[in-house]
Structure 1
Amino acid sequence: MYWEKNRIKFLALIFSTGMLVLGKVILFPNPVKPKVNTFVFPEEVPLAKWQLSVSSPIESLTKENPNLVAEKHYRYVKNDLPLDIQMRYLQNLYNADIGAYIKQDFAVTSPPVMRQQKGVGYYGVGVEKQKAYLSSCINPRGNSTFTHPQFRENRYFQDITFDRIMPLLQGKEALLDKRCLWVHLSIPLRKSSPEAAYQVLEQVWFSWYRWWQPRFPKP
């Protein structure tokens, strides 16, 4: 009963928004395509119990990606353990499959294991070349995602809201906000087990996500 009631409201919202957008297209057939503002990653992001040692640009294959807006590499150290965090701000994603991205950019050969944390979302963990990694996509709205279906579901249920109707009609925002902050964390395994390394990465990820989600770049 609860789902049926909310499903009707959701379908009504989609219909209303669609009619408004259609009316705008008919009256103004050459709308300006929403643009993503220039964004620069901060030089330092606070991370409790970790000391920042490196903050630099990224040299990677992603530079050939037309959806790439900005990227940054951070390295932190705690008790001589280095932690690398790579951030990429992507737009206009038609495929938000993080598994495919890490396979391309980090030459990961073994499939990652997907996990979920309440209040944060989905992420993937794995081991490659004696390094444990964690990768995920911070969404503009809704929890983090790892697969494209998760990302797509967020867009339909989080982006289509009444409070976004005016920006949509004014051409300031797209109907579906297909942007993503791709986060990739990694630490060397050394003598620890993969599971112990995952726990370290998860603690960092949960803290990192909570700092970044409310600071997601403005469209």
Structure 2
Amino acid sequence: MYWKQTRIKFLALIFGTGMLVLGKTIFFPNADKPIINTFVFPEEVPLAQWQPSVASPIKSLVEENPNLVTEKHYRYVKNNLSLDIEMRYLQNLYNADVGGYIQQYFAITSPAVMRQQKGVGYYGVGIDKYKAYLSSCINPRGNSTFTHTQFRENRYFKDITFDRIMPLLQGKEALLDKRCLWVHLSIPLRKSSPEAAYQVLEQVWFSWYRWWQPRFPKP
């Protein structure tokens, strides 16, 4: 019975989406053009128990990824432990696979281990030489994602809502909001175990996510 109801709801969603797309195509033929939104990262972001520090320039990926709009590097220190947080704002994504980004842009060959936190979402943790890292994609709606499948499901089930119908039909917003704040955190391993380092990163990530999610760039 449960699966039958779920199937009916899914088919209704697909039908409604199809009708919406058809109407938008007929009455607003230019509404599907990529939407490029400017955004400036704040100079400082509060992070409890951590002190801001001077951040060195990060490797810029703007020229390598046409969907990357802007990027920012934050550095914090606590008890002589340095924490680096790289933020990248991407738009019009057709592939939001964070694991693939890690391998492509950071040359990290060992696969990350995907984890999930209730109320936050999915993220991946791993080791890169002498550093532990955590990486994830903050979505405009829905929880954070690590794979493209998770990102796509968020778009279909979170973006298509009644309160967005008019902005969609007027071409002010895209039907599927394919934007992402890619977050990559890292700390040196030193003498700690990988799991101990992951716990430090997770505590930071949960706090970081809760600060950024309601402040996701406006469309």
* TM-score, scaled relative to structure 1: 0.93
Unpaired segments of 5 or more residues in structure 2? none
Structure 2 contact 28–169 (Cα < 8 Å) conserved? no
Give the 5 Å matches for 1:1-219: 1-2=1-2, 4-31=4-31, 33=33, 35-55=35-55, 58-219=58-219
Q: CA deviation at 1:18?
A: 2.6
For the structure 1 residues 6 and 121, does the alpha-carbon distance in structure 2 shift closer, same or farther, using more than 3 Å as the test? Answer: same
Q: Residues of 2 paired with 1:108 and 1:216: CA distance?
A: 28
- Equivalent residue letter for 1:43: E
Q: Which has the larger displacement, 98-107 or 54-63?
A: 54-63
Q: Deviations over 1:4-56 (max 9, x none)?
A: 43543443244234323312322343446252321000000000000001256
Structure 1 contact 56–72 (Cα < 8 Å) conserved? no
Q: Residues of 1 paired with 2:13 and 2:164: CA distance?
A: 11
Q: How many residues align?
A: 219
- Equivalent residue letter for 1:111: P
Structure 1 contact 21–169 (Cα < 8 Å) conserved? no
- Equivalent residue letter for 1:5: Q
Q: Which has the larger displacement, 34-43 or 192-201?
A: 34-43
Percent of paired sites with the same residue: 86
CA RMSD of aligned residues (A): 1.7
Q: Secondary structure at the match of 2:63?
A: helix
Structure 2 contact 35–92 (Cα < 8 Å) conserved? no
Structure 1 contact 57–71 (Cα < 8 Å) conserved? no
For the structure 1 residues 51 and 153, does the alpha-carbon distance in structure 2 shift closer, same or farther, using more than 3 Å as the test? Answer: same
- Equivalent residue letter for 2:167: P
For the structure 1 residues 29 and 112, does the alpha-carbon distance in structure 2 shift closer, same or farther, using more than 3 Å as the test? Answer: closer
For the structure 1 residues 60 and 24, does the alpha-carbon distance in structure 2 shift closer, same or farther, using more than 3 Å as the test? Answer: closer
For the structure 1 residues 188 and 6, does the alpha-carbon distance in structure 2 shift closer, same or farther, using more than 3 Å as the test? Answer: same
Q: Which has the larger displacement, 122-131 or 17-26?
A: 17-26
Q: CA deviation at 1:57?
A: 5.6
- Equivalent residue letter for 1:157: F
Structure 2 contact 137–144 (Cα < 8 Å) conserved? yes
Q: Which has the larger displacement, 133-142 or 101-110?
A: 101-110
* TM-score, scaled relative to structure 2: 0.93
For the structure 1 residues 214 and 57, does the alpha-carbon distance in structure 2 shift closer, same or farther, using more than 3 Å as the test? Answer: farther
Q: Residues of 2 paired with 1:31 and 1:113: CA distance?
A: 38
